[in-house]
Every structure is written in structure tokens, then in C-alpha cells.
Structure 1
Amino acid sequence: MGCVVSESLETLLLRLSEAGETATLWGRQAKPHLGSEFERLLARRILVEQAPATEWPVCASCECGLDARPVQAVGDRYIAPCPYDHRCDVTLDNDDLRSFRIDGEVLIKEIAAASGIPDEPELVLPGIWHLGRLGSKRAVFGVLSISAAMQPGLIVAMRAAARGQPVTLVAPPLPTSERQQFKQAGIHLVAVRDAIGHNGAAWALDPARLAPHIVGEPRLVIARSIKSVSLDGIDCALSDQTFKLLCLLAARARGDQPFATTRDIEQEIWGASLHRVSRPARDVVRELREALAAGASEPDAVRRLIENKRNRGWRLTLAADAIDLRN
């Protein structure tokens, strides 16, 4: 029931939805996000408020043997007492006791509608929906829970529903073995948390991410040993700081964690000591964008290659096989 303040509401709900039918948003998690958008999700019944909690988790290190401790009303507040140590009692308010069920089916419909998909999503298997087509002649499927994405028969069911069209699956983060199975089956797997938020719309899927990048000559070539960078065949002149930042973003883009936070960037450029940080990370990002755009035929498009998502950091939007990062 901990609160993760740094996440956007969309990212938080998608992360919690990975649990499947039991997906629940607790009041303490919801507090930073209460407002008009939260009320809209309640009105749309993406979030369904449940009865106030009557129990609270026990202390992490407690040996009381209880599964949960009862919540007790004390005047105008609530207490979840620890049976062993009253110093570990938890004081709660009304918002803490609230909880909301996340309706995965309604959320999938919200994603489809925000993405401009006209048809109603079609349930293919439990927790798996055929969304339709978006931006390419590919059949797009959506899944929010990890267990649904790993159920037997999924690949066969999607192929049958796709009727010969190539398949894209928008899914939560999956283990390497499952990702490899989808790749071997020719299914393009897209992380749902990375794909939403297109053009500033909270739940809209980015059409450009729904089709695999066509393998060819890498667009970005970085040689670390000689500090050389070329983008689309054009040599780029970078400062020491912007070169370090580009290497960091390129390495992240080729791995499983594409985003680099402000702290990641500071550590890469200035080391572990905060006292050595001489300028904001966003200024280095801005300088890198301009350095890459200099001489480009479409400078605005090049600037957009470095993307910022609220509370997640910056990432390089090039596909992994479009980047040649060598020593």
C-alpha cells in the first residue's frame, strides 16, 4: 500500500494492472493524483471505488503471525495497532482507507478510443483484446496483466484473429523467455507503458511504435574511443558532456530500461558526488538536441529523437538496431 509519488497516474495504473483481476489502487497511492482526471476515471468506471478497508498490513519485520491487523476508529481518526509494539501503530485518515478496483476491460477500451481506433476491442482470450488496426496494416492486440500475456495458446489465438495480418502485441514487461517466444513467432512486442502518451494524450498509443523498425544501416553510429558521432550519415560535433549523455541514452535504448533520470545523467557526467554538478541535466539535453539537429535535413524531427516523459526521464526513441554503439 506504499505511495509512489514519482509515477504519473497512467503509469501507476498500468503497473498495478499487471496483477490482473485483483489490481487495486489504494488511497495512499491515489492521494498525489486526486483531481479532475482522477474523477474522470471514476466517472468512466476505469476505477471503481470499493468499501473502506477494515484491515491494514502488518509491519514488514513483525512476528505476530497475523495476516493483517484490524483498523480501529479512535475519535475522528483511525489506528492500525501493532500487537507487539505501539510505536509501530499506523495512524490513518479516510483517504488511506479508500481503495479502487482497476477495471482492465474498461481501461483497454479507453486506450483504444484515445488512440482513434473506431471499433470496440474484441476479447480473444481472458485478458487479451484485439484492438484493431492503427497506423499500419497490422493487427494490434492489448493485454494489461502479466499472467494473461503468458497463458497457453495466446500466439495461436492472436494469429487466428489477425486473419493473415502481421501481429503487434501491446503488453506489460515480460520475462526474457516469453519475449523471445513472441520474437520467434514473428510477433512485434511493445511495452504498453512506453507506447502510451502519444501527442500529449494520456492513453493514446503511438502508431510509430506499433510496427517493427526495418533493419538496415544504423542511423546513429557512436565510436566511444575516438568520440565520433554520426546521425543519418552526418557527422555531429558534441561537447564532452553531450557525448557522455548520448552514450548513456544510446546504451539505455539498446537495453530493457530505455529511460535515464536526472540523477542517472548527473552520475554519468559528473560522477557520484552531487557537489560536482555544475548545470541542470535538462540544459545538457537541450544542448545535445541542438548539436544533433545541426546540419540535419529535418532538424525538428531530429530534436524529437530525444523524448521526455513526465517523472520517467529522457530516452532516445531510435530502435535498438538503428544504433551502432561501439568502443
Structure 2
Amino acid sequence: MLSFLWKRLSEVGPKVSGRALRRFSEAEVERLLRARVLIEQRRADTWPVCTHCDCGLDARPIRTVGDELRACCPHDPNEDEVLAGDDLRRFAIEPERLAIAIAASGGLIGGVSPIGEGIWLLGRTPAGCAVVACLDAQILFGPGTSLALKSVAAGDPVSVLATECGPADGLRLTEMGFAAHAIADVMERDEADVERLRVERLSPTVGATRLVVDLTASSVTFDGQAIDLPPQMFSAFRMLAEQVDQRDPVLRSQEIEHRFEREARGVMRDLRKAIARCLSAEEADGLVRTVRNRGYRVGLDPSEVILTR
């Protein structure tokens, strides 16, 4: 029920009807009412009109006809809809309480805290992985969001739970350094038929890709952020990136000077400045590392770098 409510909150909003919850046991609904994940609202006293009806009404009246509760059609009694008593119940979903319930179901450590609109830090797994839940994966691609997630994770690996996580979003999150999961894939009912977060499925991918260099498109992406480089600076960065998977990942100064007919220090200085226009100066210095008396290298593990053609 927790994953259903999360998806409902994402796709429809914080309102849910008793009819939508009929698939779940009364005990589950009552448990979430006690936890204030669900807040019961005033019962419905009208019902939506038929989709094909031209009666002009905004809603159908609800009446008791014999032993039945009916949403009555003003034109044709055969179009009346028979209702169950629970159909009239209405609930509001409390997003933060729902996030707390999901975190508690997996035994996460550290408490739930909001990161931004529609994003919560759920806590950490016993292995030290920070778990983040969001209502829509697209929120994570907004300006500054990646840095906010890394800040609250404080250097720990991050697993992201989203309502849906298609291949494109999953790849993009991987490029940003996060492991991505659809929330329904990591929730499962236990022996007592209680839905729980399976933390063993949250282990982040080892060596998650952070830097993608597309040689055909002459583009560079770091942690999901595009780096717009002029052609000459892209050529310099390409030389660095192509050296990553070599036995010696250091690009020697002599090779840079031979290629650009300039002092290597000046070329790398200009490259860092170009990168810093899209990232920070610190990130630029981290990407282009000086190796004293030898040359320069990309400041990442080879497993974090992908070159595509």
C-alpha cells in the first residue's frame, strides 16, 4: 500500500478515495490512519456524472434506493451506479508521513528530512547508503539539485527512489553518480503481508559513471551537468579522457605542446577556465589534475569515465 500511495501522490495528488483503497485490507487502511499517513476527510455526498451524459449536472446525487446506495442518473435509472459504503470515504495523503512510513518499513537510520519540493532524504541503510525518495525523477535534474543531494549525503553513496525510473532517466542519474530505482521494485510484502522497503536492493552501482565524453557529438557531461567546451578545449579534454584507460593515465606535457604548439600549462589553464564556466572552479581543478613534473590527468577513477562514439 505504501508504494501505491506514493505513486498515487505523484500521478494524481494528495487525494484518494475509499474505492481506490478497496484492494487493500481494512487493517492496512486503519494502520495508516493511526500513523497519520492517511487523513480521513468528509464523506462524499455526490458522485461524478456519466462520461457520456449530457444532463448538464456537475455531479450526480447519491440516494438510498431500497437496500442499495446509488449514484442516480437524472435521465435513466439503468445508468445508476450502485455504490458500496466505503466508496464514499475520502482521504488525504500526508507526503512527509508517507516518506517516514517508507523509511521505517526498511529500518533506515537517521530520520527523514525534506531536501526540496517533492524530494526527501529517507535516511541511511546499515551499510551507509543515503536513500532519497522523489515524487518525479525529473525534479532531480533541476538546477542545483544534484549538489543538494550530494551535500545531504555527506560523501556517502546515494540511492534514489522514484515513482517511475525509465532507462533514459536511470542512465542520466547514473551519470550524476546516483543509483536509481523505481519504488515499486524495492518494496515487497513480507510473511505477515506487510509491505516493506528491501534495503538489500538499494546497494548503489559500483563505480557509477560520473563523466561521459561523447566523441561524435563533441560533448562532455559531468554528474549530469553539460560542460560546453569550445572546439580546441574539447580536443584538449579529449586527449585527457582517452588517456584514462591506459596503463599510465597521465597525459604528458610534451604531447600537449606538440598538439597545440603552446606551453602545456597555458592550455590546461584555459581548459580549467572553460570548465569552470559550467561547473565550479573547484570541480574544474578536480577534473584536470596536475601531476608534478610529468603532465596532467583526469581526476576520476577509470570506472567513473565513459567515452562514447
Q: Deviations over 1:149-204 (max 9, x none)?
A: 66654323212212222221111114554333212212111111111237547343
Tell me which residue corresponds to 1:100. 91
Tell me which residue corresponds to 1:16. 8
Tell me which residue corresponds to 1:54. 45
Is structure 2 residue 177 aligned with structure 1 residue 186? yes
Tell me which residue corresponds to 1:210. 202
> Which TM-score applies when normalising by structure 2?
0.57
Structure 2 counterparts to residues 12-161 of structure 1, below 5 A: 12-19=4-11, 22-64=13-55, 66-74=57-65, 77-144=68-135, 153-161=144-152
Pair 1:149–1:38, CA change in 2 (3 A):
farther
Alpha-carbon distance in structure 1 between the residues aligned to 2:51 and 2:166: 27
Pair 1:11–1:166, CA change in 2 (3 A):
closer
Tell me which residue corresponds to 1:227. none
Tell me which residue corresponds to 2:187. 196
Alpha-carbon distance in structure 1 between the residues aligned to 2:56 and 2:142: 34
Q: Deviations over 1:10-58 (max 9, x none)?
A: 44323323236x3333222323423323221111111111111123222
Alpha-carbon distance in structure 1 between the residues aligned to 2:137 and 2:52: 29
Alpha-carbon distance in structure 1 between the residues aligned to 2:54 and 2:18: 26
Structure whose CA Rg is larger: 2
Alpha-carbon distance in structure 2 between the residues aligned to 1:140 and 1:46: 20
RMSD (Å) for aligned C-alpha atoms: 2.9
Identity level (%): 34
Q: Would you tell me which structure has more strand in proportion to its own residues?
A: 2
Structure 2 counterparts to residues 218-297 of structure 1, below 5 A: none
Alpha-carbon distance in structure 2 between the residues aligned to 1:206 and 1:46: 20
Aligned residue pairs, count: 206
Alpha-carbon distance in structure 2 between the residues aligned to 1:93 and 1:190: 37
Shift of 1:76: 6.3
Moved more, 127-136 or 57-66: 57-66
Q: What amino acid maps onto 2:117 in structure 1?
A: P
Q: Secondary structure, in 3 states, of the residue corresponding to 2:5?
A: helix
Contact 1:17-1:145 at 8 Å conserved across structures = no
Q: Secondary structure, in 3 states, of the residue corresponding to 2:160?
A: strand
Q: What amino acid maps onto 1:207 in structure 2?
A: V
Q: Identify unmatched segments of 5+ residues in structure 2.
A: 208-309
Shift of 1:133: 1.6
Alpha-carbon distance in structure 2 between the residues aligned to 1:105 and 1:148: 17
Shift of 1:144: 3.9
Pair 1:164–1:121, CA change in 2 (3 A):
same
Pair 1:58–1:99, CA change in 2 (3 A):
same
Q: What amino acid maps onto 2:14 in structure 1?
A: A
